[in-house]
Structure formats: structure tokens, C-alpha cells
Amino acid sequence: MNDLANKHIVLGLSGGIACYKAAELCRALVKAGASVQVVMSEAAAQFITPVTMQALSNRSVYTSQWDAREPNNMAHINLSREADAILVAPASADFMAKLLHGRADDLLSLMCLARPIAQVPLMLAPAMNREMWQHPATQRNMAQLKADGAFVLDVGQGEQACGETGDGRMLEPEEILADLISHFQPKLLAGQHVLVTAGPTFEKIDPVRGITNLSSGKMGFAIARAAAEAGAQVTLVAGPVSLPTPRGVQRVNVQSALQMQAAVLQHVDAASVFVATAAVADWRVAEVAEHKIKKDGSGDLPVLQFTENPDILAGVAQSERAQSGGLFCVGFAAESHDLLHHAKAKLARKGVPLLVGNIGPATFGQDDNALLLVDAHGSQELPHAHKLVLARQLVAEIARRIRR
């Protein structure tokens, strides 16, 4: 995934122990396709060497506004004009206070002040002790920086280098990377609330056994991420999977089909889009055994009675709000063969405006997929690609349809 291909990122480091994370962040930015120019404050060089950052970025590091490599001696102008974004990670309390007051006594602060505000976004990843973070002055500074147009990221919570525990840790590199990638995505679903179901369900037979399927949840999680990147508020109802929650997404964990139905009904009234990606079990055992069902040596098989699970998607799609157009519903069909035929039948059966089909055995657990979009007017193929790429394409299609 080259999410940052053709993007030039200026990575600024102010002083703080979190500079050690900047090395991995730089590496992640390069892997995502970006070109990275590192600019370090004098204090940052006390925590990590410019040599390290040069090796990871494949570019000479800038540390002084008097850098003789610039023919016009205006590194602060040249570097800011070349950037698609300036990302300061870590951003110390002192550095944010300096930016707030427009002070510019080193190259990093000069560059941030000199950037064309309308063309070059400034993202700050704060990092400091919990007391420094909670101090009213820091909170005022952060609020004013946001009002001035800077994008101030969240902070993490946990153990700090000083031995204390609390808010103020710099986000992990993968979290900062996700926020930067999200920034560049078009906000096609701004103002929308998207409800997504993902993963399998697990229907108990006894305390140790159950009925499930091979769905990994990766497609649904990719859709939740893509919707959040597109500016939507996203609620993700997830079956039993171990995938990390996408940035900015509210996650509700469930196990069974009945639990998933209850969670959907709890959150659907606030949603404007419902994407039912989950592979919900069609049946469950009518009576779950209290204890593990054991072999008795007779060779006789246990008799299990099954009952049908509720059709979550059809129930939501048949609601008054969905029928009146207040809720746009998208269904998924994971088939083993005759995809178009089965997808058309499911579209009619579920009563949804858009049905997304895929060949389940070819995609379960994989990072890539191929989708078939089916509606009342025909079908459209989304060719084989990474699931996040497909998710963004699907989100764009949903946004186009709800704007009609």
C-alpha cells in the first residue's frame, strides 16, 4: 500500500524522549511511498542523532537556519514550499508554546511559521509528561493552535519515561501514519454516521464448541477505516476477531448473531448508512448444552436441534426509515460460485439498494479481494485489489449514491 505516493512530508523533531519513535515513523512514511525531509531542533539532537534520521530518510537532515547548502540561505522558505505537509513528531510543550506566539528562533519553528497555511497543513503529535499535558497553559495553547489551523493529534495513555503513568505519550508511529493518510483522503462522507458490521459470529453448542465460519473481518474493518477517513462518524459492530480497531472508529464487540442484532438495533437509529459486511451464521443450536458434550463410547452421535437466526440486514432494510430513504443500506454476499446469480437473488430478498458480492473462499483471511456491485440497474466489477483500496472505492460509490 503506497498511500503516500507522490507526497513530500517534512518530518520535524522537537526535543523529547519520544524522538526515538520518530525513527520508526520516518521508516513507516517511506514505506508508505512518501519522500521525507527531516528537520530537527537542537534539543531533538540530544535524544537521537541526525545520522540516524538521515539513514532512514535517505536525505541529509536540516538542523540550522544557517545551512549553507541553500543558495539563498532561506531553508525555512524552501523546505516549507516543497512540502505537502509538515508533521512535527514529537511536538514538545515548549515547541507548541513557541508556535502559539509566533516565535521563530530556530529552523523548525521558522519553517512552521513561514509555511503557506492554505497549501501546507501543519500536524502536531504532542509528547510530554502527564502533568505538563494537563496543565491549563498547555490545554489553552493546544486549543489556540487548532483555532489557528494546525491539526493537533491525540496523545496516548500509559507508562512514561519519567516512571509516571497517564496521558501525554506520543501516539505510536502506526497511529500517526494512519492520521496522516486519513488527512489526505477526500471527505466524501462528512456529516454522515456509518454503521458497519464485520467478521463472523460464533454460535455456542456447549461451553467449548460452536458454529462459526472463516470470515476474518478484514473487509468490514477496511470499510470502517475508509468511512472514517472520508469524514464519517463510524460505529463498528465486530464479531470475534482480533483485528486492531481503525483510528477514530467506535467499536462494539459481539459474539453471536443475537448479540450482533441487539448491537445493530441499539446504534442504527443514529446512522445514515448501514453496511452489513458481517458473515452472520444462518442457524444456531436451539438449546445450548450446559456442559461439554462428551463421547460415551457407544458410537451414537449427539442430536442437535437448530433454529434460524434473525436476518439482521433484511430487518433493518425493511424499517420505515430505510424505506423512506433516511437510511442507506448496503448488503454483502459471500458466495462459493455463480456470484452474479446469487447476488441478484439476495438483492431482491434483502430489499437493499446496493448488494456487494465476493467469492468467499478466495478472500477469507486474505488482504486482497475483488467485489461485484449489484443494484436494480445492473452490476459493476471492482477488480482485484487490496481490501482497503476496494473499501475506499466502495465508500466513494456510497457517497455518490446518497448525494443523488
Q: Directed axis angle between helix 50-57 and helix 19-31, to 10°?
A: 10
Rounded Cα distance, 132 and 162, in Å: 12
DSSP 3-state of 380: strand
Check whether the bond before 90 is cis (ω within 30° of 0). Answer: yes
Residues with Cβ within 8 Å of residue 235, at least 6 apart in sequence: 193, 194, 195, 196, 249, 250, 251, 252, 267, 270, 271
Rounded Cα distance, 264 and 71, in Å: 61
**Nearest residue to 88 via CA among 55, 134, 121:** 121
Rounded Cα distance, 365 and 210, in Å: 20
CB 213 within 8 A of CB 281: yes
Residues with Cβ within 8 Å of residue 24, at least 6 apart in sequence: 173
Verify whether residue 162 is a known catalytic residue: yes
Our CA dihedral for 75, 81, 126, 221, rounded to 10 degrees, sits at -140
Write down the catalytic residue from 19, 112, 162, 329.
Answer: 162
Beta strands in 103-254 (DSSP E): 122-126, 151-152, 156-159, 165-169, 193-198, 203-206, 209-211, 233-238, 249-253
166-184 burial code (b ≥16 CB/10 A, e <16)? ebbbbbebebbbbbbbbee
Give the DSSP letter of residue 7: -
As beta bridge partners, residue 152 has 124
DSSP 3-state of 249: strand
- Cell numbers 437473488 correspond to 345
User: Hey, which residues are catalytic here?
Assistant: 162
